[in-house]
Amino acid sequence: MKKHSPLKIAFGAIFFMSICFCLYNFEAIGTSLKLSRTKHIESLDFNTTLTTTTNLSSKKPAVASKTGKQPAPTIDPKDLDVEQIEADFPMGYKNPRSWFLPLPAPDEKQLLQVLTTEQRELLPSLGSQAQLSKKKLEKINSFYGINREGGWQDHLEILDDDGLAPLTKWAQKYVYDHQHPTSCEGKKFYILEEKARWYGLGAAVRVIFRELELAISVGRILVLDPKNPPGGNLVGKDCGKYRGRNASIECLLEDITSCAAYATPENSVREISLGTVIPGGNKFVPPLPAVALTTYMKETGLAVTGAFLRYWWHAQMYAYVFRPNRQTLARMVEMRTNKTLHTAVDTGVRDEDGNGKTHSVPFPLPPSTLSIHIRHGDKAIEGRLISTRDYIVAAERFVLRNPISYRKRAFVTTEDPSVIKDIKKTTGINPVGTAYSNPSWYCPFQNLRMSENRTDAMIMHIMQLWMAVECDAFVGNRNSNWNKLIDSIRCTLMDKCRAPYLDAGYSADWLHFP
């Protein structure tokens, strides 16, 4: 009998054990795949209510009713957390507790019958408290230039510091004084000409303030080129006549400086390199504002990040550049108080076409109204588009979690006509929320009848932004310049910075955008 060497015996033993190990693993993998496949099928059964054949609670086959319809799937509450029950998995789920039942709305007619005459006399004064307070109405009027004696600096003084972004009043005065010095003699200038004629209003304002912050950093005053000024394509060619200059964004907004007449080829430049900006700080923020905010934040016990510093400063820049002038404000008020330009829709009361019942729109918008700006269109070139549904879901979840302070009432703006059509037919997405608020959405819209006058068309867009800032909570996507503008103006030219802002998009798309 042939003897085998110890090496061959060891090798054979290892080979035999490897085969056994593989067979064992194959069996385990098969079992795992089977379980995984079962769970996957169960999850599909939950999400596809029309084709489900599995009862998730009992794990037994569902039996079709005599009508041929499949019963709705049920969900074991132990498998879900509170947020999922409230928001993510409303379909087919019913809380088994006896107290979890919809309550009937009060019958006002019956209740009035049991009130005394004295009690009924109280009702008008109590109902009036649902309107804006006198102080808030004063701020909104000043925001539109109504009954305001002075300029934007005077408007800022009536705002509450607690509702503004940090150091807003100081920052706005700092920029204003830089651009409007006591004397323009001996100053140096940076002349800015049109760089992108295809930009919309939000992007054009952003371009201007980016150049303004560079000018401030190197000690120059920004002046818009009188021959080729930025924003000339946004307005009618005749809009500059009454100002004795070419059409520009300054037809709509306050003059960016009082020293434009002092700029000459000898004391001006037309380009500023980032390399000339003082090192050691944020390339977007001039030295003094950067140190000022850092000092302020130290007193709060918090540190300043580069992203926070830039976002704060850009909000200040938006506010300074985007100050409608007297003529624009007067036209905005005329449009805002024109009831034919505005329609509110109750999506729960439908007409023959499936659209909601229409109502008039008050001025200002009622308290607790949400602003929703849905940016679609060419924004897909720069980032991911957010679906209309995602905006509504964000708004409904917020209302659900704040049932006493907010209602399903929203001022919706968009450049996509299909969005308006969809929302007019959308009662709601999350049925759980109907137990805590008005069942359907009440949405004021602005009827954008675009005039042949390009200047009026731009004023309409500014009025849309001002109407958004009338609101008390905000839903948007900061990847959009217009949403950034809404976010900035509410924190600087109005004291609503502590009002909720719900971003329906992705932070990664906008957080480090320059």
Band of residue 74 on the pLDDT scale cut at 50, 70, 90? low
Is 358 in a helix, a strand, or coil?
strand
CA distance to 15, 21, 40, 41, 122, per residue, from 36 (Å): 31, 22, 6, 9, 64
The pLDDT tens digits for 373-398 are 998 765 555 567 788 888 888 898 89
Band of residue 242 on the pLDDT scale cut at 50, 70, 90? low
CA distance to 29, 319, 323, 386, per residue, from 33 (Å): 6, 58, 63, 35
Q: What is the mean pLDDT of residues 216-233?
A: 92
Is 126 in a helix, a strand, or coil?
helix
Band of residue 509 on the pLDDT scale cut at 50, 70, 90? confident
- State how far the Cα of 154 lies from the Cα of 140, in Å rounded to an integer: 14
**Residues facing 414 on adjacent strands:** 374
DSSP 372: E
pLDDT at 230 over 70: yes
Higher pLDDT, 39 or 11: 11
**Poorest-confidence range of 178-187, 439-448, 495-504?**
439-448
pLDDT at 43 over 60: no
CA distance to 16, 82, 255, 433, 435, per residue, from 403 (Å): 68, 16, 44, 9, 9
Please give the class, per CATH, of domain 329-509: alpha beta
pLDDT at 37 over 80: no
The pLDDT tens digits for 287-341 are 999 999 999 999 999 888 888 999 999 999 999 999 999 999 999 999 999 988 8
* Beta-sheet pairing, 342-350 with 442-446: antiparallel
pLDDT at 171 over 50: yes
Contact (Cβ atoms closer than 8 angstroms) between residue 213 and residue 198: no
**Poorest-confidence range of 207-216, 253-262, 342-351?**
342-351
Contact (Cβ atoms closer than 8 angstroms) between residue 497 and residue 490: yes
Locate 191 and state its tokens: 């002349």
pLDDT of residue 284: 82
Band of residue 511 on the pLDDT scale cut at 50, 70, 90? confident
Higher pLDDT, 223 or 359: 223
Contact (Cβ atoms closer than 8 angstroms) between residue 188 and residue 219: yes
Count the neighbouring beta carbons within 10 Å of the beta carbon of residue 414: 22
pLDDT at 449 over 60: no
pLDDT of residue 12: 66
Contact (Cβ atoms closer than 8 angstroms) between residue 162 and residue 187: no
pLDDT of residue 32: 44
Query: What pTM was computed for the model?
Result: 0.79
Say if residue 364 is preceded by a cis peptide, omega within 30 of 0: yes
CA distance to 217, 229, 285, 462, per residue, from 194 (Å): 21, 5, 23, 21
- State how far the Cα of 505 lies from the Cα of 299, in Å rounded to an integer: 32
Identity of residue 257: T
- State how far the Cα of 376 lies from the Cα of 374, in Å rounded to an integer: 6
- State how far the Cα of 386 lies from the Cα of 479, in Å rounded to an integer: 10
Domain with CATH 3.40.50 in the chain: 329-509
Residue percentage of the chain with pLDDT more than 90: 45
What lies within 8 Å, CB to CB, of 191 at 6+ separation is: 223, 224, 225, 263, 268, 269, 270
The pLDDT tens digits for 77-134 are 455 444 444 455 555 566 677 776 777 888 999 999 999 999 999 999 999 988 899 9
pLDDT of residue 296: 96
pLDDT of residue 10: 64
pLDDT of residue 438: 78
| 293 closest CA partner among 273, 310, 275, 318 | 310
What lies within 8 Å, CB to CB, of 500 at 6+ separation is: 398, 402, 473, 474
Q: What is the mean pLDDT of the chain?
A: 80
